[in-house]
Amino acid sequence: MTSPGGSSDRQALFRERLGHWIGPFVAIAAFIAAIALLYLELKDHSWREILDAINALPRSRILLAIGLTALNYSILSGYDGLAVWYLRRPLRPWRVMLVAFVGYAMSHNLTWMLGGTASRFRLYLAWGFSPVEVVKIFALIGLTFWTGFCFLAGIVFLIDPMPIPGHIHLPLTSTFWLGPMLLGLLSVYLLACAIGRPVVIRGVRIVFPPVRMAIMQGTVASCDLLLQAAVAYTLLPSGYTIGYWQFANAFLLAIAAAVVSHVPGGAGVLEVVVLELVPHDDPTAIFGSLLVFRAIFYLLPLIIAVSLFLGHEWLTPRRASQSPK
């Protein structure tokens, strides 16, 4: 006869194992669905057309996109900077910028679990942070992103909503009603910060930061998302008439879908959401612009980040051996 305790242990073990598989399964399913949709969107066009669209992009726009990307990655250091400031762990500015740049360049391409988490853990632990502190930093970084997303997307969807094409078969005709929903979630978070009382959910004690911290979180993440959208908007085909804020509707939804899907780099997910939402006459032109965006905003920083990380790993033991005993 099986004891009740043994049965509950097996159920807990099953749930734990299932939890490990849910993330990868969702990522694989989302990636396959995105590739299928991209194929349907582009099946009547050739790679030559896509390459021609890429070659037609003015070099001045590409240089502007590179400059905006550099500015964006400097702002990304605000995520880690806020986290270590909140934990009252002083860290040199160059280290904050290094860990943020490496962490985000890797997480943008390889997801948090495959890249951003490992690199951040390695650097923070080498600088004297405890594993618990690093986990808190991860939580604060994620909270900062969603705080800024709810604020910025809520405002954009509310003030300048984008119509949702009927072929997508969603219960919404535009992004308008997403605005109040996101701002409502943000209001709940700000209220919890203002009350300042910890909340216990399934045995996990959640402590909310002060309102001042939440406002700074929203500011940093909003600037980040605005610049990301600006980089992609800068690379749109010449003569494209859609306004920046209308494009930001589609781009913000694409970013959210990429993050939630857990697909490395949001590969395919970001592209298909933008293609489905943004009105266009030539999908190859939009897709070509998104490929250039991915090369500039994702791949170029990854190459630099890997070089910086390997250089740090090579220099650190040499400096330690040269330091006086």
Domain total for the chain?
A: 1
pLDDT, tens digit (0-9, with 9 covering 90-100), for 162-212: 999 877 777 888 999 999 999 999 999 999 999 988 887 777 788 899 999
Reported as half-sphere exposure (CB side, CA atoms, 13 A), residue 2 has a value of: 8
- pLDDT for residue 45: 76
Can you give the pTM of this predicted structure? Answer: 0.86
Contact partners, residue 58, CB within 8 Å, separation at least 6:
238
CB-based contact 269:30 (threshold 8 Å): yes
Q: How many CB atoms lie within 10 A of CB 37?
A: 17
Beta-bridge partners for 200: 205
Q: 48-65: buried (b, 16+ CB within 10 Å) or exposed (e) per residue?
A: ebbeebbeebeeebbeeb
- pLDDT for residue 165: 85
Rounded (5°) CA angle 112-113-116: 45
User: Given the structure tokens 């943008």, which residue do they identify?
Assistant: 108
In a domain, 42, yes or no: no
In a domain, 59, yes or no: yes
In a domain, 45, yes or no: no
Q: 228-244: buried (b, 16+ CB within 10 Å) or exposed (e) per residue?
A: bbbbbbbbbbeebeeee
In a domain, 57, yes or no: yes
3-state secondary structure of 112: helix
Q: Looking at the chain, which runs of residues are DSSP E strands?
A: 199-201, 204-206
In a domain, 256, yes or no: yes
CA distance 98 to 26: 31
- pLDDT for residue 298: 93
Say which DSSP state 208 is in. P
- pLDDT for residue 44: 72
CA distance 133 to 83: 10
* Sequence letter at residue 1: M
CA distance 216 to 83: 11
In a domain, 105, yes or no: yes
pLDDT, tens digit (0-9, with 9 covering 90-100), for 280-323: 878 899 999 999 999 999 999 999 998 998 888 877 665 545 55
Tell me which residue range forms the domain holding 88.
52-318
In a domain, 182, yes or no: yes
- pLDDT for residue 325: 47
CB-based contact 136:83 (threshold 8 Å): yes
Question: Which contacts qualify for 93-97: CB closer than 8 Å, 24 or more apart?
Answer: 95/123, 95/127
* Sequence letter at residue 160: D
In a domain, 29, yes or no: no
Stretches in the chain below the pLDDT threshold 50: 1-3, 11-15, 18, 320, 325
